[in-house]
């Protein structure tokens, strides 16, 4: 009887002990998770999650086939925790004992590189074995957390088209998978979009068509093929959409502005003014001068710059020409005047004669000179001349009168003195 009681007490003690440690045995657990697909050459990131309470550290052993994968790094994202490894032995701990594991947390991140020679279908097995968690005074054994995945076949790099065509048109040159540039010539104005048909060499690739809203004139439509691995290949089709048969081309050949490389045009630019002058100092002689313009009409066929490669002293001529959509041209003339060298006296502007870029030897008048001032000056000169002539006429009259008076006086004198001698 005593022996039976002894066994009963021993069994009761074991039961109480197991019951007291049940939380540690069955409450703590760990799992290792990673990507759903793995391919040769990939870098895979595995997360070790632990469920426990009041633990400040974890240790374990990495188990993997080094012919399949290579360990790249280990790390932890837990605040205040550190991760270390010595070969395949890993240790993660809370250095300040301030942030324990309570509940489920990702304790460790492990990165592996899948070796490039691993064949598709190979099963990769990675585990963290002998996992122990610790509260600083006692350890809890969690066991093993593992990850297993078969290596998938490589992603396709094939971004080729197997066929390409445009309804109602013929590609030039004929389609080949390696040829990426084509033309279909002209299409009618009524065609605003190409009907493009295609097939891909690899069913996993995708296709997008860009630029298929045609404007009048030249267009480039792109057929972009994206392979499974992200490789892209673009096939381009150029097409010219004809003008609306009822369209009337613009005859606007006006410029909106003129810009010169040196100096400033005079007078200020206006679209209806077609003659301008630019005055430059003597030091600009020998330099290049460029005048450019901006067309007032965005549909204009272009603007031709005025260029003088080497400015000469004196006058130089150039022009900026705008060509309208319908071919109409309008020329804006520029006279570039390079002043004579200053040698103590200001040279007369009106006396500048033609230089190398203006072959005329005649003095060139200032195109902006106000002729009314000249007219006024000539008028003043005429008035002065008339006034001088009037003054000269008065002087002559006075002289004539004086001469007559002198002659009369002389005659009286002669007559008076000759008779006086007779009287006496």
Which class is domain 161-241? mainly beta
The pair of structure tokens assigned to 203 is 């069913």
Cis? peptide before 267, omega within 30° of 0: yes
Q: How far apart are CA 317 and CA 329, in angstroms?
A: 18
Place of tokens 């301008």: 276
Q: What number of other Cβ atoms are within 10 A of residue 30's Cβ?
A: 22
H/E element holding 399? helix 371-423
The pair of structure tokens assigned to 252 is 């606007």
Q: Where in the chain is the domain with CATH 2.60.40.680?
A: 22-152
Q: What number of other Cβ atoms are within 10 A of residue 74's Cβ?
A: 18
The DSSP secondary structure of 6-48, one letter per residue, reads: HHHHHHHHHHHHHHHTHHHHHH-EEEEE--S-EETT-EEEEEE
pTM for this model (two decimals): 0.55
Place of tokens 């974890």: 58
Q: How far apart are CA 408 and CA 162, in angstroms?
A: 134
CATH architecture for the domain at 255-351: Sandwich (2.60)
**What is residue 355's predicted lDDT score, i.e. its pLDDT?**
58
Q: How far apart are CA 228 and CA 202, in angstroms?
A: 9
**What is residue 402's predicted lDDT score, i.e. its pLDDT?**
76
The pair of structure tokens assigned to 352 is 């500048």
Q: How far apart are CA 25 and CA 47, in angstroms?
A: 22
Question: CB burial class (10 A; 0-12, 13-18, 19+) of residue 139?
Answer: middle
Place of tokens 């040829």: 179
**What is residue 393's predicted lDDT score, i.e. its pLDDT?**
56
The DSSP secondary structure of 84-102, one letter per residue, reads: EEETTEEEEEETTS-S-EE
Phi, psi of 43 (to 5 degrees): -105, 120
The sign one gets for the Cα dihedral 366, 372, 373, 378 is positive
Phi, psi of 263 (to 5 degrees): 70, -155
Q: How far apart are CA 161 and CA 247, in angstroms?
A: 39
CATH placement of domain 22-152: 2.60.40.680
**What is residue 381's predicted lDDT score, i.e. its pLDDT?**
45
Q: How far apart are CA 301 and CA 327, in angstroms?
A: 7
**What is residue 407's predicted lDDT score, i.e. its pLDDT?**
78
H/E element holding 309? none
Per-10-residue mean pLDDT for the chain, 424 residues long?
Answer: 46 41 62 97 97 97 98 96 97 95 97 97 97 95 97 96 97 98 97 98 97 96 97 98 94 98 97 97 97 97 97 97 97 97 78 55 46 44 47 66 76 61 44
Q: What number of other Cβ atoms are within 10 A of residue 85's Cβ?
A: 16
Q: How far apart are CA 220 and CA 181, in angstroms?
A: 10
């Amino acid at each position: 009887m005593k022996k039976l009681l002894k066994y009963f007490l021993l069994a009761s003690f074991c039961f109480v002990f197991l019951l007291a440690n049940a939380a540690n045995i069955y409450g703590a657990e760990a799992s290792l998770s990673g990507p759903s697909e793995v391919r040769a050459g990939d870098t895979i990131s595995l997360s070790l999650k632990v469920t426990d309470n009041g633990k400040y550290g974890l240790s374990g052993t990495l188990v993997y086939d080094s012919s399949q994968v290579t360990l790249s790094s280990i790390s932890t994202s837990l605040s205040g925790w550190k991760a270390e490894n010595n070969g395949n032995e890993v240790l993660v701990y809370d250095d300040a004992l301030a942030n324990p594991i309570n509940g489920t947390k990702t304790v460790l991140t492990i990165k592996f590189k899948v070796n490039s020679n691993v064949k598709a279908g190979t099963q990769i097995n990675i585990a963290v074995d002998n996992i122990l968690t610790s509260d600083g005074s006692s350890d809890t054994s969690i066991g093993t957390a593992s990850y297993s995945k078969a290596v998938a076949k490589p992603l396709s790099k094939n971004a080729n088209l197997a066929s390409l065509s445009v309804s109602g048109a013929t590609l030039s040159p004929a389609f080949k998978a390696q040829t990426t540039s084509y033309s279909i010539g002209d299409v009618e104005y009524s065609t605003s979009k190409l009907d493009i048909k295609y097939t891909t060499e690899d069913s996993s690739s995708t296709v997008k068509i860009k630029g298929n809203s045609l404007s009048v004139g030249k267009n480039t439509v792109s057929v972009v093929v994206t392979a499974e691995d992200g490789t892209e290949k673009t096939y381009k089709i150029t097409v010219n959409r004809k003008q609306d048969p009822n369209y009337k081309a613009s005859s606007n050949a006006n410029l909106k502005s003129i810009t010169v490389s040196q100096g400033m045009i005079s007078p200020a630019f206006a679209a209806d003014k077609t003659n301008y002058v630019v005055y430059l100092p003597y030091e600009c002689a020998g330099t290049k001068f460029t005048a450019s313009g901006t067309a007032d009409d965005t549909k204009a066929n272009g603007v031709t710059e005025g260029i003088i490669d080497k400015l000469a002293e004196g006058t130089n001529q150039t022009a900026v020409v705008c060509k309208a959509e319908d071919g109409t041209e309008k020329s804006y003339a520029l006279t570039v005047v390079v002043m004579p060298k200053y040698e103590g006296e200001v040279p007369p502007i009106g006396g500048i004669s033609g230089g190398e870029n203006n072959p005329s030897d005649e003095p060139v008048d200032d195109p902006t000179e106000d002729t009314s001032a000249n007219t006024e000056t000539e008028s003043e000169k005429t008035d002065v001349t008339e006034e001088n002539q009037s003054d000269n006429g008065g002087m002559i009259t006075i002289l004539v009168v004086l001469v007559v008076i002198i002659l009369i006086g002389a005659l009286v004198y002669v007559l008076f003195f000759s008779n006086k001698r007779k009287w006496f």
